[in-house]
Structures are given as structure tokens and as C-alpha cells.
Amino acid sequence: ALRASVAPKAQKPNQRSQYVLQPQASYKVAILGAAGGIGQPLALLIKMSPLVSTLNLYDIANVKGVAADLSHCNTPSQVLDFTGASELGNCLKGVNVVVIPAGVPRKPGMTRDDLFNINANIVKTLVEAVADNCPDAFIHIISNPVNSTVPIAAEVLKQKGVYDPKKLFGVTTLDVVRANTFVAQKKNLKLIDVDVPVVGGHAGITILPLLSKAKPSVSFTDEEVEQLTVRIQNAGTEVVEAKAGAGSATLSMGYAAARFVESSLRALDGDGDVYECSFVQSNLTDLPFFASRIKLGRKGIEAWIPSDLEGLTEYEQKALEALKPELKASIEKGIAFVQKQP
Ligand code: NAI
């Protein structure tokens, strides 16, 4: 669950709202693409975090209003707005965590890879600015296709000489959030208790929920495994179709991205018990990038957790082998996009 950490004990009598928070730390977070469908609810949830002192919102348009609106919430962080390329550098200076949901979302009938041509350039440009202004920050990539945009970001950072593979994350938290929700519904479990690792990547069959590793441990029939796996893999498309042209998941994504930010901030703040799934550079398989559970610490990834990939069921093992060629091609497409440029 997102640990929004309201601080009821410290509440003063005249501050009745449960959203009045006491500052507990002073991290700086920047959202690039902050005026968008994901950016806005994400900004709201981060504004609720007691770990944040400054929230920098960047977009190419419409961000002033979002910042003015949010800045009236009486929670600890200061909200600042930055519009257009000339203000990007200032938005990023001194930032601890940069979240990138900038780019176009899917419309019905589109795959995430159909977004490549537009979003690849956006991510490349934004990560160049991150490299120049806050090379030590944790970088959270939301813009799709994540399977390619994370390798793009890695190449850009390498070219700039500041790549730290422990601090670059493709945000796959929504896949975990969805898996947890759907498993809890199917098995009548309390939602808050359910945790399902999701590995691989973040598109179609590359999204592999490991239902055999779900906590609490639950047993599924073969049919249930098939149904749940396919639903988790297609959950994004479920939303795209329901929105019928008005975009893709934004509210659940804002929630999931806020959870990943909160986890990163807790790790930066010294919490020694922070685990999340994320699409990262990895040695767990023969692919250079792979989503798995990782342990987060002050310096980024502290450990890649191999145990989820041990003792897989036959269904999971087959699905893992089946996803590798597609994931490999998406990774290579991202790398080639940066390397082929002059
Ligand atoms: P949106 O279109 O509502 O918002 C995107 C925002 O990015 C807009 O405000 C736009 O002005 C801004 N933008 C465009 N070019 C920019 C640039 N060069 N610099 C800064 N900002 C720029 O789209 P939405 O729904 O917020 O989705 C954003 C991205 O997130 C899409 O690529 C979508 O596919 C992806 N996504 C990823 C998920 C994941 O699980 N990782 C889940 C859902 C969506």
C-alpha cells in the first residue's frame, strides 16, 4: 500500500484535516510532464508526502495552473512550476528523485510500442537535462514503451558519463498494484495483505506476474492462473478501451507512481526494509534489463532479489522464456535509437 504516512499524533487541535502532515524529511522531487493525466494526480499524492520539502512541476504547457492549485494544500512541501525547455535546468537542480511521465499515451488499438517514435525523443531530451543538472538523482521512467525508454535513458546517461544503473528505474509498480487487486478479488483476500511480484517488462506478454510467489500463499487452478495472468497483462488495454480515446491509466498510475516515489524516499531516508518491483539493469537473466523485485537503499538498488525466479511453475517458466525475445528486441530498439544518432 502507498504509505501516505499521515501524522495524527502531531496534529494540532485546529488542524482537523487528516491531510495536514508534519514534515519528516526534506527531499526534493521533480515531475516532468506534470500537467498531464498522470502528472496531476501524481503531483497531488506527492504533495501529501511528509518526506518532501519541494515539489518541482515541469511541463511544456499548462503547469502554472496545476502548481497554483496544488500549492494551496497546507501540507509541508513547496510547489514550484517550470514551463518549457528554458526552465528545465532550474527545475532539476538539487533534486533527489525525478519522475518522468512526459509523452503521449495510447489510444484504442495502439500498442505501447506505437508510442516509440514520439516518446523516445521526449525521454532522451529530458534525461539529457537530468544528466546535466541532477546526475545523482533517482530517475523514475513512466513514459512508454518502458521496455525501450529505460534503455534509452541508460544510453543517454552513459554518453554523458553519469550512468549509475542503481539509480535508473522503469516504473512497473502499476503491474504489481493490478496483480494485487485482481488476486485479492479472485480469492476474497484483504487487499492490503496481498503482494504479487511481477517480473519481465511492461508491455503485453513481457508482463509476467508470478502468482506462485503471491503472498499470502494461495493456490490457483490452471484456469485461474491463465485468466489472472492475461487480465494483468491486458489491464492497461482494459482502461484504454474504457476511456475510448481519452487516454490510458492515469489515476491508478498516479497512485502506483506515488507509491514508488514514497518507497524511494523512504530508502533515501535510511529505511532498511524497502522492496519494490522495477524494470532495471539486471544480471538475473541473460537480458540486460529486466523487471524484478529489488531492495532499495540510500544509493539506489542495494540488491536484486533472485529468489522470485527460483522454483517457478512450468507455466511461469514457459512464459518467461516466451517473453524474452520480445523484451530483448524492445531493449535493443531503445539502445539503437540513441547510438544511431550523431
Ligand atoms: P498525457 O498526454 O495526459 O500527459 C503527458 C504530459 O506530458 C502532457 O502534459 C504533455 O504536455 C507533457 N509533455 C509532452 N512532451 C513533453 C516534453 N517534451 N517535456 C515535458 N512534458 C511533455 O499522458 P498520460 O496519460 O499522463 O501518460 C503519460 C505517459 O505515461 C504515456 O507515455 C503513457 O503511455 C505512460 N504510461 C505509463 C504507465 C506505466 O505503467 N509505466 C501506465 C500508464 C501510462
Average pLDDT over residues 51-65: 97
Q: What is the mean pLDDT of the chain?
A: 94
Average pLDDT over residues 221-238: 97
| Of 88, 91, 100, 104, best ligand 1 pocket probe by most atoms within 8 Å of the beta carbon | 104
* Contact assessment for residue 134 and residue 94, using Cβ atoms and an 8 Å cutoff: yes
Instruction: Say how many Å lie between the first and final Cα of the chain, rounded.
Output: 44
Which atom of ligand 1 is least distant from the CA of 102?
7
Amino acid identity of residue 13, one-letter, is P
Residue-wise DSSP of 32-56: ETTTSTTHHHHHHHHHT-TTEEEEE
Reported as a single tens digit per residue, the pLDDT across 235-279 is 999 999 999 999 999 999 999 999 999 999 999 999 999 999 999
Does the pLDDT at position 121 exceed 80? yes
ipTM above 0.95, yes or no: yes
- pLDDT tier for residue 1 given thresholds of 50, 70 and 90: very low
Read off φ and ψ for residue 326, nearest 5 degrees.
-65, -45
CA 275 to chain centre: 13
How many A from CA of 318 to the centre of ligand 1?
Answer: 33
Amino acid identity of residue 322, one-letter, is A
Does the pLDDT at position 75 exceed 90? yes
How many A from CA of 36 to the centre of ligand 1?
Answer: 6
Return the pLDDT at 19.
Answer: 62
- pLDDT tier for residue 33 given thresholds of 50, 70 and 90: very high
DSSP structure class, residue 104? P
Reported as a single tens digit per residue, the pLDDT across 99-109 is 999 999 998 99
- pLDDT tier for residue 17 given thresholds of 50, 70 and 90: low
pTM above 0.80, yes or no: yes
Average pLDDT over residues 37-63: 97
Return the pLDDT at 20.
Answer: 63
C-alpha cell at 44: 497531488
d(CA 82, CA 68): 12
Q: Which residues contact 41 (CB under 8 A, 6 or more apart)?
A: 250, 251, 254, 255
| Of 60, 111, 260, 280, best ligand 1 pocket probe by most atoms within 8 Å of the beta carbon | 60
Does the pLDDT at position 171 exceed 80? yes
Average pLDDT over residues 301-316: 98
Residues with active-site annotation: 202
More reliable by pLDDT, 1 or 120: 120
Q: Which residues contact 53 (CB under 8 A, 6 or more apart)?
A: 23, 25, 26, 27, 28, 76, 77, 78
DSSP structure class, residue 245? T
Does the pLDDT at position 67 exceed 90? yes
d(CA 191, CA 176): 12
* Residue 204, Ramachandran bin (φ over 0: left; ψ between -120 and 50: alpha; else beta): left
Average pLDDT over residues 79-94: 98
Reported as a single tens digit per residue, the pLDDT across 317-328 is 999 999 999 999
**Does 143 sit in the ligand 1 pocket, CB within 6 Å?**
yes
Q: Which of 14-28, 94-108, 181-195, 232-246 is the least confident region? A: 14-28
Does the pLDDT at position 196 exceed 70? yes
Q: Which of 20-34, 173-187, 274-288, 298-312 is the least confident region? A: 20-34
- Within the chain, where are the H helices? 39-47, 63-70, 88-92, 116-133, 146-159, 173-187, 222-243, 251-268, 314-339
How many A from CA of 220 to the centre of ligand 1?
Answer: 36
Does the pLDDT at position 335 exceed 50? yes
Read off φ and ψ for residue 331, nearest 5 degrees.
-65, -45
d(CA 309, CA 282): 13
Q: Count of CB atoms within 10 A of residue 138's CB? A: 27
Return the pLDDT at 81.
Answer: 98
CA 43 to chain centre: 13
Average pLDDT over residues 279-308: 98
